[in-house]
A and B are shown apart, each in its own frame.
Chain A
């Protein structure tokens, strides 16, 4: 299996994406940003469609759209507007624009399917380097703000005295979610983003009780799903995203069931 270049690339991309998704996902789940993350993937679809229409790489269009949208959502959410409502409004706009740009750009259905469901087996060596660079950026930024981010995600009510840097962490976090969504969509597609970002972290919280262990276990669940999913996809010639999704959903349902039984 590893004698093929595209399988090597797919495994390396899968590994990088799983690590980023596990780390970001831990904070996303703790801060109840699952819906935002899902919406960002829809916004990412619009960005990618615009990218193809404008002749940019799809990933660039995606990063610009998701970062812009997450900053807009961060600025709009306040005591007066519910975060979910703001998010819905912006993602509705994005999906509409996505369909418009697909039509205007005469984008082929293959390209559109690639954006929506991922095209991990089509990842080139060059894509891989870009993916790796973005992943390192996200991980370094998140971990260098680890403690402020941990408090923001796990106990926002306890942050009563905020330095300017801590206020900035809110926005830094949103942009990092946006970048991770763009990165992860290369693997599972924008429709299935929560499969890697949200589900492994949501499963991990039923087993371990410190932030570092939560990140570790989320990475492990994501890696397991990605590696096994890629292998089965290779053997069966069926879509990778399907297998990754199935594995992560099963892990999640099993975790909830076990926790309910014991708690």
Chain B
């Protein structure tokens, strides 16, 4: 049984139908690209998945014990004061303790190490580079050891080299920690080198495909558009 399965699943906002008759099954431990134009229902689907309030019909089953989510937008200005290690621990959001407990500290250290941030753990997040910030965002999502990690356009603001670096790290996480990854993106050509499946949201529905289908989809969509990634960014 897959980690995420839907049966005749749909989402609507009032009268407006966003998604209907969705039947998908994502096996555990896969790296899926979530594709589709803006407004096609990607974000709504993820919202339903992480348990935010959306109106749904049909069934959506989710076997994940814990979900890590890296949102698309974060307002981190240059004068944002927190050091990276404290930012990474912000998801410990219950109780009153002003200090980290031993197990929390350990989990934060592990997540920092995982994302190659140990060397700059005490630096201000506000003064970190774009790539470092994205790695800190992913580290925060990893702290509580999720088995499903969802990233929302995490590579959008990075240059090519850092895009590839981040995706390589995420790919490694998938393999070494047996994480299931959902990666929302518009950069089809780039993601096709890393993902082993996709969900394509279009025309009010969703299609699922495996790695081979992803390759042919990429060929088909970027044919004659060598610069496609640049356009989509």
Q: Residues of A at under 8 Å CB distance from B?
A: 30, 143-148, 150-151, 154-155, 157-161, 166, 204-206, 208-212, 214, 259, 263
Alpha-carbon distance between A211 and B78 when the two chains are bound, in angstroms: 17
- Which residues of B sit under 8 angstroms from A166, Cβ to Cβ? 93
**Contact between A147 and B92, CB atoms less than 8 A apart:** yes
**Contact between A157 and B74, CB atoms less than 8 A apart:** yes
Alpha-carbon distance between A214 and B83 when the two chains are bound, in angstroms: 11
**A214 nearest CB neighbor, chain B only:** B81
Alpha-carbon distance between A214 and B80 when the two chains are bound, in angstroms: 12
**Contact between A158 and B124, CB atoms less than 8 A apart:** no
Question: Would A209 and B94 be within 8 Å (CB), given that A155-B74, A160-B50, A263-B127 are in contact?
Answer: no
**Contact between B90 and A212, CB atoms less than 8 A apart:** no
Alpha-carbon distance between A147 and B71 when the two chains are bound, in angstroms: 20
- Kindly supply a per-residue 1/0 record for chain B positions 73-96, scoring 1 wherever the CB is within 8 Å of any chain A CB and 0 otherwise: 111001101110011001111111
Q: Which of B78, B86, B93 has the most CB of A within 10 A?
A: B93
**Contact between A154 and B90, CB atoms less than 8 A apart:** yes
- Say what secondary structure dominates the interface of chain B: loop
Minimum distance in angstroms from B47 CB to a CB of chain A: 9
**A140 nearest CB neighbor, chain B only:** B96
**Contact between A147 and B87, CB atoms less than 8 A apart:** no
- Say what secondary structure dominates the interface of chain A: helix
Which B residues, 95 to 135, have Cβ-Cβ distances below 8 Å to chain A? 95-99, 122, 124, 127
Quick check: is B45 within 8 A (CB to CB) of the other chain? no
**Contact between B78 and A147, CB atoms less than 8 A apart:** no
Q: Residues of B at under 8 Å CB distance from A?
A: 50-52, 67, 69, 71, 73-75, 78-79, 81-83, 86-87, 90-99, 122, 124, 127, 140
Question: Would A158 and B90 be within 8 Å (CB), given that A147-B95, A147-B96, A212-B98 are in contact?
Answer: yes
- Contacts A161-B67, A210-B86, A259-B79 known; list 15 others, CB within 8 Å: A147-B93, A147-B96, A155-B74, A158-B71, A158-B140, A159-B93, A160-B50, A160-B52, A160-B69, A205-B79, A206-B81, A208-B81, A209-B82, A210-B82, A211-B86
**Contact between B69 and A146, CB atoms less than 8 A apart:** no
**Contact between B86 and A143, CB atoms less than 8 A apart:** no
Alpha-carbon distance between A206 and B52 when the two chains are bound, in angstroms: 36
- Which residues of A sit under 8 angstroms from B91, Cβ to Cβ? 151, 158
Alpha-carbon distance between A189 and B20 when the two chains are bound, in angstroms: 58
Q: Which of A161, A166, A209 has the most CB of B within 10 A?
A: A209
**B98 nearest CB neighbor, chain A only:** A212
Minimum distance in angstroms from A80 CB to a CB of chain B: 14
Minimum distance in angstroms from A232 CB to a CB of chain B: 30
Contacts A/B (CB < 8 Å), 29 sampled: A144-B96, A146-B96, A147-B92, A147-B93, A147-B94, A147-B95, A147-B97, A148-B94, A150-B93, A151-B91, A154-B90, A155-B74, A155-B87, A157-B75, A158-B71, A158-B91, A158-B140, A159-B93, A160-B50, A160-B52, A160-B71, A161-B51, A161-B67, A206-B81, A209-B81, A209-B122, A212-B98, A259-B79, A263-B78
**A215 nearest CB neighbor, chain B only:** B98
Alpha-carbon distance between A211 and B29 when the two chains are bound, in angstroms: 36
Minimum distance in angstroms from A139 CB to a CB of chain B: 12
Alpha-carbon distance between A43 and B69 when the two chains are bound, in angstroms: 39
Minimum distance in angstroms from A215 CB to a CB of chain B: 9
Minimum distance in angstroms from B133 CB to a CB of chain A: 12
- Which residues of A sit under 8 angstroms from B79, Cβ to Cβ? 205-206, 259
Alpha-carbon distance between A170 and B52 when the two chains are bound, in angstroms: 17
**A204 nearest CB neighbor, chain B only:** B81
Alpha-carbon distance between A145 and B124 when the two chains are bound, in angstroms: 24
Alpha-carbon distance between A204 and B87 when the two chains are bound, in angstroms: 17
- Which residues of B sit under 8 angstroms from A259, Cβ to Cβ? 79
The 8 Å CB contact of A211, one of B82, B93, B127, is B82
- Which residues of A sit under 8 angstroms from B67, Cβ to Cβ? 161
- Which residues of A sit under 8 angstroms from B94, Cβ to Cβ? 147-148
Alpha-carbon distance between A158 and B67 when the two chains are bound, in angstroms: 12
